[in-house]
């Protein structure tokens, strides 16, 4: 069979698929140029046979055609994050066993030493302009593995989440149906494209539907407000942090500018918030500014989206709605038994949307399922027939700015610093970010510690959203009888750190 997402592009031909500051690209352009990428990747072979192809490209047409080209050649796409420092990128390239890294001249300096150390071939995206005549592209089963996205868990370093073409198609179809995507839709893409929110919910839902995806390289709140005014947007999706920044920019603007911007929001049919809990204050402010009652939903890398408030009908602040079409959800207690409504339980999910496995981690994959149900690790309660997320069942998972961050991973990196004897990382409540990363440090003797210098070093080792924002220095870390750091007690030491 062929990949339905890509075959559908033939239906839309000269409709605009991707719109960027550099130009407009039709579905025909995307279909033809992704085919050329696939042929270049194949070279003289007939099928990549699930070879991993990592790619570090900006959020523009080059990203999309390379992603599709990898899929069409029979490879597994491994998107890299443009804001990650070299150690994070190298870990993913090495862990995934990527045979190739596709990049451009903007990122070649950071990729060259990584490729050398991992013995990985570099292909510049510009090389795909070469026309190659080769046999037909491979026919692919929907069960073929298509993509690896890396997500943090309780075990330290990020795990590779493998989705098949069938998983991806299911994740797309359920959202297209629930949110009534159509050809006339036009969405703005401002989110990182190594994350399910940007890749599935925005980019590929648009492309499945024959809609237009307008892509910006980076988020800038004033630029986004300008696009609300100037572009024919019908959809907008973002994380709570972005809505907070848009609100701040609106509040800092003159009254006439505020009115102009607010009026522009009326042409947008749907605004969605996800990847982190939406503060009710943010929801209310955005409703007052834009007229939109944000649609909250719940999902994660392993499952795509599972729960959503209704497109049409009542949305309740602080709640994430009901299971999406084709997705089964249940809540269970610590003994694995389904709980009654009104009783908190762990969210478990079953359906064709659920990922196939963690890359080269069979034991962790097995542990993550219970009788075919994926154990999300998130705790919720069913009240009045709708779900409310209560939090994580692990203190070692931090949700910051829409990202799921492992405290253990951060601790492992920070403890390599020459001045650190030991440390403990926790998440503390933050009105803008949901949670912010905080670290308690026990320093080596006679150390003259400078926080700004330490943070600069941490930024060279960790993704920006993993770098601690707050810190305290302690002589010893609080521990329980088994010697494990008592993070609940530790959190009391950070009271008042953020407002």
pLDDT tens digits for 247-306?
999 999 999 999 999 999 999 999 999 887 788 888 999 999 999 999 999 999 999 999
Q: What residue has token string 């982190």? A: 276
Please tell me the predicted confidence (pLDDT) of residue 368: 94
In a domain, residue 283? The reply is: no
Which residues neighbour 67 within 8 Å (Cβ) at sequence distance 6 or greater? 55, 77, 79, 199
> In terms of pTM, does the model score above 0.75?
yes
- pLDDT tens track for 73-115: 999 999 999 999 999 999 999 999 999 999 999 999 999 999 9
Any idea what the CATH number is for the domain that residue 448 is in? 3.30.300.30
In a domain, residue 286? The reply is: no
429 versus 124: the higher-pLDDT residue is: 124
78 versus 419: the higher-pLDDT residue is: 78
Please tell me the predicted confidence (pLDDT) of residue 497: 56
Please tell me the predicted confidence (pLDDT) of residue 212: 98
In a domain, residue 52? The reply is: no
In a domain, residue 455? The reply is: yes
Compute how many other C-beta atoms are within 10 angstroms of the C-beta atom of residue 23: 10
- pLDDT tens track for 164-199: 999 999 999 999 999 999 999 999 999 999 999 999
The total number of structural domains in the chain stands at 1
User: Is the pLDDT assigned to residue 404 strictly greater than 80?
Assistant: no
Crossing angle of helices 221-230 and 240-251, in 10° steps, is 80
Nearest CA among 402, 426, 432, 403 for reference residue 414: 426
In a domain, residue 221? The reply is: no
In contact, 302 and 149? CB cutoff 8 Å: no
* Distance in angstroms (rounded) separating the CA atoms of residues 410 and 397: 11
**Containing structural domain, residue 457:** 397-494
3-state secondary structure of 324: coil
| Range of weakest confidence among 13-17, 383-387, 431-435, 471-475 | 431-435
Please tell me the predicted confidence (pLDDT) of residue 481: 58
The CA distances from residue 292 to 209, 257, 318, in Å, are 23, 18, 15
In a domain, residue 461? The reply is: yes
In contact, 37 and 128? CB cutoff 8 Å: yes
User: Is the pLDDT assigned to residue 419 strictly greater than 60?
Assistant: yes
* Buried/exposed code over 350-375 (b: 16+ C-beta within 10 A; e: otherwise): bbbbbbbbbbeeeeebeebeeeebbb
Give mean pLDDT, residues 218-239: 95
For 446, list phi and psi in degrees, rounded to 5: 60, 30
User: Is the pLDDT assigned to residue 395 strictly greater than 70?
Assistant: yes
Band of the pLDDT at 496, cuts 50, 70, 90?
low
In a domain, residue 422? The reply is: yes
In a domain, residue 259? The reply is: no
Compute how many other C-beta atoms are within 10 angstroms of the C-beta atom of residue 482: 5
- pLDDT tens track for 342-392: 898 999 999 999 999 999 999 999 999 999 999 998 888 999 899 988 877
User: Is the pLDDT assigned to residue 498 strictly greater than 60?
Assistant: no
């Amino acid at each position: 069979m062929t990949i339905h997402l890509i075959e559908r592009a033939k239906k839309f031909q000269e409709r605009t698929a991707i719109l960027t500051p550099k130009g407009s690209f039709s579905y025909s352009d995307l279909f033809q140029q992704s085919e050329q990428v696939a042929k270049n990747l194949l070279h003289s072979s007939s099928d990549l046979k699930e070879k991993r192809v990592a790619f570090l490209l900006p959020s523009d047409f080059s990203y999309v055609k390379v992603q599709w080209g990898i899929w069409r050649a029979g490879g597994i796409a491994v998107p890299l994050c443009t804001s990650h420092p070299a150690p994070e990128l190298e870990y993913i390239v090495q862990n995934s066993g990527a045979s190739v890294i596709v990049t451009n001249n903007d990122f070649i300096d950071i990729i060259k030493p990584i490729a050398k150390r991992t013995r990985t071939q570099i292909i510049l995206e510009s090389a795909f302009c070469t026309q190659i005549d080769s046999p037909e592209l491979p026919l692919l089963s929907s069960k073929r593995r298509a993509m690896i996205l890396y997500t943090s868990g309780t075990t330290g370093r990020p795990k590779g989440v493998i989705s098949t073409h069938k998983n991806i198609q299911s994740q797309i179809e359920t959202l297209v149906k629930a949110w009534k995507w159509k050809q006339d839709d036009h969405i703005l893409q401002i989110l990182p494209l190594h994350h399910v929110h940007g890749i599935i919910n925005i980019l590929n839902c648009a492309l499945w539907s024959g809609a237009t995806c307008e892509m910006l390289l980076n988020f800038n709140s004033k630029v986004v407000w300008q696009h609300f005014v100037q572009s024919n947007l019908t959809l907008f999706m973002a994380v709570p942090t972005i809505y907070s920044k848009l609100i701040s920019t609106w509040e800092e603007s003159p009254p006439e500018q505020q009115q102009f911007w607010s009026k522009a929001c009326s042409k947008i049919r749907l605004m969605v918030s996800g990847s982190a809990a939406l503060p009710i204050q943010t929801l209310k402010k955005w409703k007052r500014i834009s007229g939109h009652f944000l649609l909250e939903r719940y999902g994660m890398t392993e499952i795509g989206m599972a729960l959503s408030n209704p497109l049409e009908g009542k949305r309740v602040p602080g709640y994430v709605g009901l299971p999406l079409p084709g997705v089964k959800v249940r809540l269970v207690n610590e003994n694995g038994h389904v709980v009654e409504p009104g009783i908190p339980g762990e969210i478990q999910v079953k359906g064709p949307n659920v990922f196939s496995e963690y890359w080269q981690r069979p034991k962790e994959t097995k542990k993550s399922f219970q009788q075919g149900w994926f154990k999300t690790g998130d705790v919720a309660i069913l009240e009045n027939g709708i779900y409310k997320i209560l939090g994580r069942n692990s203190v070692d998972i931090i949700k910051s700015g829409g990202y799921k961050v492992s405290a253990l991973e951060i601790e492992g990196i920070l403890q390599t610093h020459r001045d650190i004897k030991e440390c403990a990382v926790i998440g503390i409540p933050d009105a803008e970010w949901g949670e912010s990363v905080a670290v308690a440090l026990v320093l080596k003797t006679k150390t003259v510690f400078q926080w700004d210098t330490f943070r600069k070093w941490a930024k060279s080792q960790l993704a920006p959203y993993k770098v601690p924002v707050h810190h305290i220095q302690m002589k010893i870390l609080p521990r329980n009888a088994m010697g494990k750091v008592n993070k609940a007690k530790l959190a009391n030491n950070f009271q008042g750190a953020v407002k």
